[in-house]
Structure formats: structure tokens, C-alpha cells
Amino acid sequence: MKKKFYLKKISLLTACAMTLSVLSGCGAEPAPAEDTSAAAKEASSDSSSAASQSSSETAASSETTDSSEATASLEAVTITAWHDNDEAMMNALADVVNQTLEGENITLKFEKKSDVTGQIRLYGTDAANGPDMYLFAHDSLGGFAEMGILEPVENLIDPQKEADLLPMTLEAATYKDVQYLMPVYYETLLFMYNKALWEGDIPSTTEELYDYMEAHTDANAGTYALVNQHSTSYNVAPFINGFGGYIIDKDANPGLDTQEMKDAIVYNSKFATLQADGDYNTVTTLFNEGHAAAIIGGPWLISGIRDAGIDLGIKSLSDFTLPNGNALAPYSGVQCLGVLKYAAESKKDAITRVLEVLAEPSVGITLAQGFNCAPANSKAYEDPQVAENEMILAMEKTAQTAVPMPNIPEMGVMWGPAEGLLAAVNKSGENVDEAASKYQQEALTAIADMQ
């Protein structure tokens, strides 16, 4: 009887403990012991009030100077940035910033996350669990700006510090006339070829290129002259832009059924028949294993190509002329840092210093030398090693005709219909007019569904 009584008590206690442990997760996060945020906030408000007494230009520079002094006297501040890039590259970027800011007790730390945009959407208002900044391509900007989770970079850094940034990168970082992002480097598509497999000179027109492909492709034997992700809109953009078409315009009107778009798709489909499946893994494997002599791709392919021991040649896509006389014009994707609003409120001065360092040429030089990234800072190209880098020179040249990916929120829902249209024509053999009309309707519905 006594034993039964004890068992009962123990069971009740266990049940209570389990209940408490289940509920414990619902508790509020304890305040961090090292409350640098409040101090930083105070410092930043001091510096802002001091700055507001002067004229606008002087104000900006005095604010930066004051904030530097204030930050130096503060406790250590760590700025966390999420990314989904090559970790070695991000570590090199962090090293440049951290070495420069060594005496100011500011540390930049990168954390790799999959699906960064999805994660930012989830944690963009969560100061306790979210990052302070993120690094990602600029095309997601519009959505985040509309969500109201980003602090405009122009509120944090003196415009003079950004004077050397390429105008194309600043344009990409701007949404509705407000500069929200800090450009770091940009990427664009290139014509990359295996010098050991390509016969003769690289053509200068797309028609000559097609003739070469016809003569050097044997699909059943699995050998190709050129491979491309022919049903991915980013990879077909050089044709679309070259024909004067567009996926979506600045006013959020989809252009999948415009005549220029249809002409570009039909022209691209001619090449697609000689370019294998078009899936990313397939085309990169074909090129890296020596089954394809050339590939249309970006700098992200370089490490795999190097590992494969390929003697790589590079040509800018803007060196190829379409039958209409225009050059191929790929999209450019500018990798930018965005600052979350809550971080700008609590760590303003430290973030400003990080942004200032990122705007310097040294960051671009490091990324260019070590990772073939095309810097956003034009001064970085004066470095002798950068000036000799074939890939970066090709990207710099392409940047003159490249079109920044649209950064309006509606672009986010356009990738699906655009890719569906390309696959319908290239893979399922659907009529371009019918498919264009169907996917234009799908795009319009998707845009309407956003509201």
C-alpha cells in the first residue's frame, strides 16, 4: 500500500516536471549579459544628435568619426552575417574586415545557411535569433524592402565612401530610389571553354557558334560542343535581353508573351537541341569530365573546373553578336550585404564601420585574387594582379552590356513561369505562342496572388 502511494507521488511529480519542461520553451529569451546594444544605441543617438547640429555634408562625416570613437570605447561587438556562399571566400572576406577593425573591438562573423532568403523572411524581425546582416544576390531586395525589415544602407554610411563603387552595382542595390544594400562583388555569365578540346578560334557571332556546334556535337555518343542550362531563365537571359525582350519590366508587367521574348526563345531552342538535358549538374559534369568543349556559366564553376584539371579559356558573352546585330546581354547578379532594421538600431556604429571597410578596394582585391570575384569597387581593378585576371576582365567587359536582374518583389514569382515556358518549348516541344500565352497568364495570376 505504502509502495503504491510512493509510486503515485513519483508519477505525479514526473508528470508535473514534464509539463514544466514542455512549457519552459515558451519562456522569453533572457537578456544577454553583455548588453552592448543599449550602449551602442546610446552612442549612436549621441552621435546622431551631435551630427544634426552641423550642415549635412559635415554632419555625415562627423557622425562617422564620432561613431568610430564611440565604438572604440565600447565593449566587443560581433556582427553576424548569414550567407550561402563558399565558406573559404566568406572567411577571407571576414578576415579583411576583422584585421582592419582589430583595434575597434568589432568582429564580423559569417554563418552559412541554406535558403538564405527564406531564413531572412523567417528571422528578419527576430532580433534574438536572426542575424545582423546577410549577403545575397540583389534580386531579393524588393521583397525584403516591402516587408520593412531592411535598414537602408544610405542611412548608415556616408555616400562619399561609396564613390568608387561601379554605378551598375549601386543601381542593383537600389529599390524605389533608396539604396538598401552594400554591393560587394558581382557575377555574370561567361563563355568558358576547354582549350584542349575547342578547335580553332572562338566565333564572334552566335550563328558561327551554332555552325560549330552542329559540326562538333554527337548527342548519342554524349559529346557536345557547348552546353548551357538552356531552360533556366538566368542562362537564357543573354538571348532574351539581346533580342530586346524581358521577363518582367520595372512596372511589374511580365513580358513572357512579347514578340521579342518569343523570338529569343525560338532562337535559344535551336541551340538547346544540341546542349544535352540542361540541368545544372548534367552540364557541369559534362564539361568537367571533358564531354563538352564549352559551357556557359559563371565564376561559381571555377573550383570544380580547376579540380578537373581543365585548361580553361574565357570569353565575354558580349563578344558574341546575335543576328539582329546586338550583343548577348546576360543578367548580372550583384552580391550585396543587407542590414536588418533591428541590428541597425542596436549596433549602428559597428555596422557602419563594417560597411565602410566593405566599400574599400582591399575587400574587392582579396575576393578577386583568391576567388575570381569581380569587385564592386572600381579602384580594385587597378591592382596589377586583378588587372591580369582573364575571368575578371571578361566579367568587367560583360558588365558594360549586362542587365542587372530586376529587384522588384514580383521578380520572385517570375522565375517559375519563365522556366516553365522555356522547358515547355525546349523539352516538351510545345508551340511557343501557346506556351507563352499560358505562362504569361500564370505569371499574371502569381503576381495578383502576391497582394
Partner 1 sequence: MKKTTKSNAWLYCLPAFILIGVIVLFPILYTGYISFTNMNLYHWQDFTFVGADNYIRALGKVDSGFLSALATTLLWTGVNMVLDVAIAYLLAVGLNTEGLRAKRIYKTLLVFPWAMPAYVSILVWRVGMFNTEFGLLNRLLTTLGFDKMDFLSKNTPAFLSCMALNLWMSLPYMIVMIDGGLQSIDRSMYESAILDGAGPWQKNWYITIPSLKKIMAPIVIMTTFTMFKQFDILYLLTMQKGAVSGSTLQTIITYAHQNAFVSNNYGLSSAVSMVIFVIIIAFSLWTNRAAKAERSEQ
**Contact residues for partner 1, defined by CB under 8 A:** 8, 11-12, 15-16, 18-19, 22-23, 121, 125, 143, 146-149, 219-220, 222, 229, 231-232, 276-277, 279-282, 285-286, 291, 409, 412-413, 415-416, 419-420, 422-424, 426-428, 445-446, 449-451
Tell the smallest beta-carbon distance from residue 143 to partner 1 (Å).
5
Nearest residue (CB) to partner 1, 55 versus 114: 114
Tell the smallest beta-carbon distance from residue 447 to partner 1 (Å).
8
Nearest residue (CB) to partner 1, 46 versus 84: 84
Q: 294 and 226 in contact (C-beta within 8 Å)?
A: yes
Backbone phi, then psi, for 180, in 5-degree steps? -90, -30
The span from the CA of 158 to the CA of 144, in Å, is 23
The DSSP bridge partners found for residue 60 are none
Nearest residue (CB) to partner 1, 131 versus 364: 131
Q: 133 and 184 in contact (C-beta within 8 Å)?
A: no
**Is 441 exposed, middle or buried (CB count within 10 Å of its CB: 0-12, 13-18, 19+)?**
middle
Q: Which residue, chain included where needed, has cell 517570375? A: 414
Tell the smallest beta-carbon distance from residue 282 to partner 1 (Å).
5
Tell the smallest beta-carbon distance from residue 109 to partner 1 (Å).
27
Tell the smallest beta-carbon distance from residue 115 to partner 1 (Å).
11
Nearest residue (CB) to partner 1, 123 versus 320: 123
Nearest residue (CB) to partner 1, 216 versus 353: 216
Q: Quick count: other Cβ atoms within 10 Å of Cβ 408? A: 20
Tell the smallest beta-carbon distance from residue 445 to partner 1 (Å).
7
Among 324, 331, 211, 205, residue whose Cα is nearest residue 260:
324
Tell how many helices (H) and how many strands (E) occur in the chain: 19, 14
Nearest residue (CB) to partner 1, 65 versus 253: 253
Is the dihedral angle over the CA atoms 160, 161, 163, 168 positive or is it negative?
Answer: negative
